[in-house]
Copies of this chain bind each other. A is one copy, B any other.
Amino acid sequence: MTPLTTLDPIVSLCKRRGFVFQSSEIYGGIGSTWDWGPLGVELKRNIKEAWWHRVVLERDDMEGLDAAIVMHPKVWEASGHVEGFHDPFTMCTACKRHFRADHVNGTACPACGGVLSEPKPASLMLETFLGPVRETALRTYLRPETAQGIFVNFDNVLTTSRRKIPFGIAQIGKAFRNEITPGNFVFRSREFEQMEIEFFVEPGTDEQWHAHWVDERMRWYGDLGLSRERLRKRLHGKDELAHYAKACFDIEYEFPIGWSELEGIANRTDFDLKRHAECSGKSLTYFDEKKKEHYVPYVIEPSAGVDRSALAFLADAYHEEEVRGEKRTVLKLHPDLAPVQVAVLPLLRNRPDVVQLAREVHADLRRRRSGGGTLRCRYDDTGSIGRLYRRQDEIGTPFCITVDVQSLTDRKATVRHRDTMVQDRVGVEQLSEYLEGKLGEVGAARDGKGA
């Protein structure tokens, strides 16, 4: 198919099938805030699980954390966000709309042509107040990044986990930014979910660890099915580096809207720990038992977005094909990410014996397995088989199992493969094993371990 040049077909699919809804839609919506619907929440869960397994549970050098969204305002003074986390904005004196001053070309309002005001800085942090009375309340902020929750807990985690450097702390959670002109669907929104790692290393080993993490994170996206030719890493020029960073790589993905940042991986040096030590008066050093010396670790920060990753996985998976003269829309999602992995469909929904067998097959496949895993399995009989297949293709279900009249006598069902549309006839009792094998194969082939 011709590559997409717009997000429109994806936005439309997301709304139509229940991946993403505009937030507070019945009240006219709220700018650039999104609610994840039944399928979207499963996709996001699968992305977060894949990340957590890879960076926490399957590594020997990582601890998890879940810090609060509303922290003490001193955290944001120390981090530099209160002073410096601003975008310049301008307002049209005629239509009163706001724009990012650095995104407006020329001097006229892009909406109505009116005169724009002088640019002023606007804080990107959302304020809030703790305490029953405004006068005595503690004025603070919703975190604009999860990272600082990790830095302020560095010593707590170090002490309780008895870790030695190098080790990292990983966290998944919501962050909020008062973007002036957000947009491009879930690519940039006011409320979003981050997956961040702060990986603490000995100064001098930081460049090597930086390279490790850039490779490892590139690999993760590829393993979960993103086309490797649409992924690239890009080193920041000196002029675009944040003040705390020694170096930064962006992992970029070629979205339908062009190459854009998918994940930033910065070498933040010892900037944050030193700032928090200074501002809190607490020592945030590490004692190297072998070298008998204290030092402030350097930190490598792979910072990914759940919503943005979800958009990339959706965009990459989206295909329109022509099948026997008709358009087929199919999401070729990695089976680990697919909201539904197996759909069980009765060919005839008016035959109670066929329906009963299909329901039995469904109940059997869905049963939680010994390893703690569950096949994400759906039963559906709300349409003709052609319609049911189209629906499952659109939501990215790798396998459909159809139970028909013949199944009643030969105890076999038809397994249809999403990507090839090939159909296999498999014994009802063998379905579970068959699917586990196939799911494993697809996963292994995609992540390059199959060769």
Contact = CB atoms under 8 A, between A and B. Distances in A.
Contacts of A236: none
A369 interface: yes
B64 A27 contact: no
A390 interface: no
Nearest to A99: B132
A30 interface: yes
Contacts of A84: none
Given A38-B161, A70-B191, A371-B374, 15 more contacts: A18-B156, A21-B153, A24-B68, A26-B276, A26-B280, A30-B72, A33-B70, A69-B176, A98-B136, A122-B132, A127-B128, A132-B180, A369-B371, A371-B371, A372-B372
A35 interface: yes
B37 A156 contact: yes
Nearest to A126: B128
- Taken together, the copies of this chain in the complex come to 2
A69 B129 CA distance: 16
Contacts of A440: 370
A17 interface: yes
B16 A160 contact: yes
Nearest to A379: B60
Interface in A333-381: 336, 366, 368-376, 379
Interface string A69-109: 11110110000000000010101000010100000000000
A178 B139 CA distance: 13
Interface stretch (A39-47, A252-260, A295-303, A407-415): A39-47
Interface string A158-185: 0011100000010100101010100000
A374 B122 contact: no
Contacts of A366: 57-58
Contact of A65 (B41, B87, B129): B41
Query: Taking each of A155, A161, A368, which has the highest tally of chain B beta carbons within 10 Å of its own beta carbon?
Result: A368
Interface of A: 15-18, 21, 23-31, 33-38, 40-42, 44-45, 52-53, 57-58, 60, 63-72, 74-75, 87, 89, 91, 96, 98, 122-123, 126-133, 136, 138, 140, 142, 149, 152-153, 155-157, 160-162, 169, 171, 174, 176, 178, 180, 190-191, 276, 279-280, 282, 284, 336, 366, 368-376, 379, 382, 436, 439-440
Contact of A130 (B25, B31, B96, B155): B31
Q: Which of A35, A96, A375, A436 has the most CB of B within 10 A?
A: A35
A156 to B, nearest CB: 5
Contact of A370 (B149, B279, B371): B371
A157 B18 contact: yes
A45 B17 CA distance: 28
Contacts of A382: 162
A121 to B, nearest CB: 9
A366 B176 CA distance: 35
A370 B436 contact: yes
A372 B50 CA distance: 10
Contact of A71 (B30, B70, B133): B30
